[in-house]
């Protein structure tokens, strides 16, 4: 039967493997908020202190992005992601036996956060951009959906483990999944590009590739990555991506503590976060599919404004209603910025230096997240409320939508205008 047939193009198996790796790594990162109160109580520190650890981790993760991007451009995504996943698994195992807040803070901020940078979207989107051209948005949307599954399955599952056991055993189980399942799968399946297996992007035959014409490069394609700073799209995408980091990091760290402060249990908050991730599963796949059929910047603008509406609901509705309304509305947009931003960058500046360029964009994304995590924690400690932080996030999302809309995609993207590569270059 047709619907039971497995995909014939190997690139979809690469997507599936990275999907699982992303689900494991991002799911554990999104569950950070579950451990804020347990760590605060066990080690006798404030919410602001835990927020500071998370904030430093976001900074370190941001600094890692250009590094892993350049490593990906030089050595390939398979080596970069495999090494990073090994370090991430070992670091997570050490975290589970941390004797005090200093060791825990160092391992999370310096080791785990750096290693996550080599697993998450900078190297993985670079690999996928080389495996797909016509279906690039769809493939990247499915890849980003791995993070959604991490929220759907990982956050509620870790919350359940936390109730049954303790935070140490919970992190030990996460480390085992990383080292015994995700790492072998990545090394066995993932290849850097289709040419390593004698294939064409999108699974085209040589004849189909010939009929489709040579690959095209946009007018802003760069030979060296620093050249991208000379044109407006990088700055516009960067400004909007900073806001993406502000809003996603704030919720990843403070959503559960906010709910608990409002009298809602951590398990209920985890279920609401699972709903957010379920909505995002549809959002990222739908946005990726649509972006292969219409300008990506239009969808990106709508995503930021939709997320802004979600934050307004979270800020001003009663918490018992607000967390579910936020999950339903903002969830549609949650990780959908990733495939669109990465695909736009690759089509404007080319795939040759995509690792470095996406690394730069992801770095500023993480820096925005670091600032937001810390300031939201301070807001709670000083004002006793997260409302100002959530309302401020909504305002920044309005600005992000405007900056995304200003990208002149039809004038700069290889999808719409460009110079054909010579056969030898393609």
Could you tell me which of 128, 155, 150, 131 has the C-alpha nearest to residue 141?
Answer: 128
**Mean pLDDT, rounded, for 93-112:** 92
**Mean pLDDT, rounded, for 111-119:** 90
Burial of 79 by CB count in 10 Å (0-12 exposed, 13-18 middle, 19+ buried)?
A: middle
pLDDT of residue 214: 52
pLDDT of residue 325: 95
pLDDT of residue 338: 81
Question: What SS3 class is residue 328?
Answer: helix
Q: Where are the domains of the chain?
A: 10-193+212-420
Neighbours of 316 (CB within 10 A): 12
- The span from the CA of 277 to the CA of 213, in Å, is 39
Check if the beta carbon of residue 325 is closer than 8 Å to that of residue 351.
no
Q: At what angle do helices 77-95 and 167-177 cross, to 10 degrees?
A: 160
Residue 400 contacts by C-beta under 8 Å, 6 or more apart in sequence? Answer: 239, 240, 242, 243, 244, 304
Residue 83 banded pLDDT, cuts 50, 70, 90 = very high
Residues recorded for the chain: 426
Check if the beta carbon of residue 292 is closer than 8 Å to that of residue 136.
yes
Residue 391 banded pLDDT, cuts 50, 70, 90 = very high
pLDDT digits (tens, 9 = 90+) for 252-304: 778 888 888 888 987 888 788 878 878 887 888 888 788 888 888 999 999 99
pLDDT of residue 424: 37
Question: What SS3 class is residue 217?
Answer: strand
pLDDT of residue 421: 46
Residue 423 banded pLDDT, cuts 50, 70, 90 = very low
**Mean pLDDT, rounded, for 84-89:** 95
- Stronger pLDDT, 214 or 287, i.e. the higher one: 287
pLDDT digits (tens, 9 = 90+) for 292-348: 888 889 999 999 999 999 999 999 999 899 999 999 999 888 778 888 888 888 889
pTM score, whole prediction: 0.73
pLDDT digits (tens, 9 = 90+) for 1-16: 444 455 688 989 999 9
Structure-token match 């760590």, residue found: 39
pLDDT of residue 171: 93
pLDDT digits (tens, 9 = 90+) for 122-149: 888 888 888 888 888 788 888 877 777 7
Taking the CA atoms of residue 226, residue 232, residue 233 and residue 239 in that order, the dihedral angle to the nearest 10 degrees is: 90
**Mean pLDDT, rounded, for 86-108:** 93
As beta bridge partners, residue 217 has: 419
pLDDT of residue 307: 94
Residue 426 banded pLDDT, cuts 50, 70, 90 = very low
Residue 1 contacts by C-beta under 8 Å, 6 or more apart in sequence? Answer: none
pLDDT digits (tens, 9 = 90+) for 235-248: 999 999 999 999 98
**Lowest mean per-residue pLDDT among 170-184, 191-205, 248-262, 311-325:** 191-205
Report how far Cα 98 is from the mean position of its chain's Cα atoms.
27
Could you tell me which of 80, 75, 84, 72 has the C-alpha nearest to residue 126?
Answer: 72
Whether pLDDT at 72 is above 50 = yes
Check if the beta carbon of residue 28 is closer than 8 Å to that of residue 158.
yes
Extract the tokens encoding 199: 């294939």
Check if the beta carbon of residue 126 is closer than 8 Å to that of residue 77.
yes
Could you tell me which of 118, 392, 156, 181 has the C-alpha nearest to residue 266?
Answer: 156
Measured in degrees and rounded to the nearest 5, phi and psi for residue 238 equal -65, -40
pLDDT digits (tens, 9 = 90+) for 19-64: 999 888 887 877 787 888 889 888 988 877 887 888 888 888 888 8
CATH superfamily of 10-193+212-420: MFS general substrate transporter like domains (1.20.1250.20)
């Amino acid at each position: 039967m047709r619907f039971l047939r497995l995909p014939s193009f190997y690139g979809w198996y690469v997507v599936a493997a990275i999907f699982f790796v992303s689900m494991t790594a991002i799911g554990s990162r999104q569950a950070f908020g579950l451990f804020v109160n347990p760590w605060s109580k066990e080690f006798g520190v404030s919410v602001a202190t835990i927020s500071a650890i998370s904030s430093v981790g976001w900074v370190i993760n941001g600094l890692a992005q250009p590094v892993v991007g350049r490593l990906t451009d030089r050595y390939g995504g398979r080596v970069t992601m495999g090494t990073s996943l090994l370090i991430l698994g070992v670091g997570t195992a050490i975290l589970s036996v941390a004797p005090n807040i200093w060791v825990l803070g160092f391992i999370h901020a310096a080791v785990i956060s750096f290693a996550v940078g080599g697993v998450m979207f900078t190297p993985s989107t670079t690999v996928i951009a080389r495996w797909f051209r016509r279906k690039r948005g769809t493939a990247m949307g499915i890849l980003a959906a791995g993070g959604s599954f991490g929220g759907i399955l990982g956050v509620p599952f870790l919350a359940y483990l936390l109730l049954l056991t303790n935070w140490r055993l919970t992190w030990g189980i996460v480390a085992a999944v990383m080292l015994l399942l995700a790492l072998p799968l990545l090394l066995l399946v993932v290849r850097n590009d289709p040419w390593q297996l004698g294939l064409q992007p999108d699974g085209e035959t040589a004849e189909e590739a010939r009929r489709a014409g040579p690959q095209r490069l946009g007018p802003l394609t760069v030979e060296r990555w620093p050249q991208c700073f000379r044109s407006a799209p990088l700055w516009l995408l960067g400004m909007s991506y900073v806001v993406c980091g502000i809003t996603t990091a704030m919720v990843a760290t403070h959503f559960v503590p906010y709910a608990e402060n409002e009298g809602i249990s951590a398990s209920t908050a985890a279920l609401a976060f699972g709903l957010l991730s379920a909505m995002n599963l549809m959002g990222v796949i739908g946005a990726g599919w649509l972006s292969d059929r219409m300008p990506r910047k239009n969808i990106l603008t709508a995503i930021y404004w939709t997320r802004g509406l979600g934050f307004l609901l979270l800020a001003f509705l009663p918490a018992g209603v607000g967390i579910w309304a936020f999950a339903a509305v903002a969830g549609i947009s949650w990780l959908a910025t990733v495939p669109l931003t990465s695909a736009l960058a690759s089509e404007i500046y080319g795939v040759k230096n995509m690792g470095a360029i996406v690394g730069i964009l992801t770095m500023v994304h993480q820096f925005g997240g670091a600032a937001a995590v810390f300031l939201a924690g301070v807001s709670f400690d000083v004002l006793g409320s997260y409302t100002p932080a959530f309302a401020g996030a909504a305002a920044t999302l309005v600005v992000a939508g405007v900056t995304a809309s200003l990208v002149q995609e039809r004038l700069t993207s290889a999808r719409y205008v460009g110079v054909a590569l010579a056969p030898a270059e393609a």
